[in-house]
Amino acid sequence: MTWTNPLRDPRDRRLPRIAGPSALVIFGVTGDLARRKLMPAVYDLANRGLLPPGFALVGFARRSWSHEDFSEIVRDAVKQNSRTGFRQEVWDRLAEGIRFVQGEFGDDTAFDRLAETLRDLDETRGTDGNHAFYLSVPPDAFPTVCEQLKRSGLADGAGPENPEGGWRRVVIEKPFGHDLESAKQLNAVVNEVFPEQSVFRIDHYLGKETVQNILALRFANQLFEPMWNSHYVDHVQITMAEDIGLGGRAGYYDGIGAARDVIQNHLLQLMALVAMEEPTSFRPSELQSEKIKVLSAASLVEPLDETTARGQYGPGWQGSEKVVGLLQEDGFSHTSTTETYAAITVEIASRRWAGVPFYLRTGKRLGRRVTEIALVFKRAPHLPFDDTMTEELGHNALVIRVQPDEGVTLRFGSKVPGASMEVRDVNMDFSYGEAFTVASPEAYERLILDVLLGEPSLFPVNEEVELSWRILDPALEHWAANGHPEEYESGTWGPSSADAMLERTGRTWRRP
């Protein structure tokens, strides 16, 4: 049952949507994600007035904390990491609904205590039997937690219509498997307990404002769509570069690598949004079906030793700081072959995109932190200038700057002022910071709110996840059979094989 505020016209999508009475249970509450993103996002929602009085936050973990200890932990996390300022009165109201349940995932009595705590909150706090279970835990814990939720009756009525009243939803964090086969198994385990309509898979890139703006840019304007195809676009570059290293993340990252960590999810989702056809409406099923069509039509360009690249960062400089290579980072094996840089070439078999390569790349310890999508256009078919006049003219490009300097750049040639005709590239910029006075919410604020509202548009369904693995698996197998990744110096733009990959086709990577 979806809660609607009787004072608001539900058809007006500009009005803030406020969650109905509900409890959010977080498993893995002692983890980094919970502390840095989830708890602060819950507070930010409360501070923006988007959570109802009947809201509760329940932590579940092994530590022997009291409700008060946990509340203190949440408050520290909020003070350190929330986006909006700390307000005592908001905190006090939120804190009244904070509970902690101590236990192991395999412990029946702990889940029975959780059920008891939720029953109590339903009555005393008014959470009305609406429960979201956030699994911020490693995927090998999913089966046990799902099984326990089923055994303890906490997942009862997880279907779309629950005659008992109240809804049950499960939120899962990536990695959704490590290849197609394991993803299918994981989806089966989760779907055994929670039907697909109650599963919310987090891909936090879809919660970013700039990513949602891809749809507005494409489908609310007349200007760009006529050029959005193989007649005009030469190729597309999707870059997610990070300057941070992997110190402290060996447990998660070693053996996983850059492609599984972000290409399988974030970058292929960005590609789907850029390449999809116009949906007939913004209903979740329409959006999902357009993304599914693109992912079904996408595959890696071969031969993979020429069209993919991978690397591992060695020692180097990050700004003025001397940094170690991956193999010297704490917790990584000295012989680790985990890649920290990956690039692939994808083709999409459709009339719109035939012959247009999509280059996807990501890496740690690169020159700077930047995520962008660049549509690089073909050159004008004819240039009525002497060659020397256009020596400095590059390809036109439309760049969606996802972060950190959020906005859109249009790059085109312009006459250099003076007596001669010389054409050079210039940029025309739209910047969120200048155009809007409101700051963008954090991705997790948007996504947690959408879970509580039961709004699934921004969550990939199991078919998207499986199709993304189908695209990536051949590269993973190819790399696994080909020894150690090439080392690149920290602070640079990655391995030389990545440059060679584009040079073969006469193209170069952008240096954002």
CB of 142 to ligand BG6, least distance (A): 17
Asked if residue 104 belongs to a known ligand binding site, the reply is: yes
Amino acid letter at 25?
A: V
Active-site residue 67, yes or no? no
CB of 442 to ligand BG6, least distance (A): 9
CB of 264 to ligand BG6, least distance (A): 10
CA nearest to 105, candidates 200, 169, 28, 168: 28
For position 261 contacting ligand BG6 by CB under 6 A, the verdict is yes
> Site size for ligand BG6, by CB under 6 A?
4
Q: Using alpha carbons only, give the angle 73, 74, 78 rounded to the nearest 5 degrees.
A: 120
Residue 442 CB neighbour total at 10 angstroms: 22
- Residue number of the CB closest to ligand BG6 reads 261
x/- map, 319-358, ligand BG6, by CB under 6 A:
----------------------------------------
CB of 300 to ligand BG6, least distance (A): 22
Strand partners, 236: 358, 375
Asked if residue 242 belongs to a known ligand binding site, the reply is: yes
Candidates 234, 242, 347, 406; binder of ligand BG6 (CB under 6 A) is: 242
HSE (CB half, 13 Å, CA atoms) of 71?
13
Given the residues 235, 266, 334, 478, the one annotated as active site: 266
In angstroms, the CA 23 to CA 98 distance is 10
For position 262 contacting ligand BG6 by CB under 6 A, the verdict is yes
154 neighbors 168 (Cβ within 8 angstroms): yes
CB of 57 to ligand BG6, least distance (A): 22
The smaller minimum CB distance to ligand BG6, of residues 24 and 262, is found at 262
| Radius of gyration over every alpha carbon of the chain, rounded to an integer in angstroms | 24
The smaller minimum CB distance to ligand BG6, of residues 44 and 261, is found at 261
For position 173 contacting ligand BG6 by CB under 6 A, the verdict is no
310 neighbors 342 (Cβ within 8 angstroms): yes
Asked if residue 55 belongs to a known ligand binding site, the reply is: no
In angstroms, the CA 338 to CA 259 distance is 10
CB of 427 to ligand BG6, least distance (A): 23
CA nearest to 200, candidates 6, 18, 369, 452: 452
Scan residues 364-403 and list those touching ligand BG6 (CB under 6 A).
371
The smaller minimum CB distance to ligand BG6, of residues 261 and 290, is found at 261
For position 241 contacting ligand BG6 by CB under 6 A, the verdict is no
The smaller minimum CB distance to ligand BG6, of residues 242 and 450, is found at 242
The smaller minimum CB distance to ligand BG6, of residues 70 and 493, is found at 493
Asked if residue 105 belongs to a known ligand binding site, the reply is: yes
397-to-70, 258, 277, 428, 435 alpha-carbon distances in Å: 50, 26, 21, 11, 21
Asked if residue 62 belongs to a known ligand binding site, the reply is: yes
DSSP 463-494: HHHHHHHHHHHHHHHHHHTT-SPEEEEETBS-
Residue 117 CB neighbour total at 10 angstroms: 19
The smaller minimum CB distance to ligand BG6, of residues 128 and 406, is found at 406
Q: Using the 8-state DSSP alphabet, how is residue 165 labeled? A: S
Known catalytic residues?
Answer: 266
Residue list, annotated binding site: 62, 104-105, 174, 204, 208, 242, 261, 364
Q: By the criterion CB under 6 A, which residues form the site for ligand BG6?
A: 242, 261-262, 371
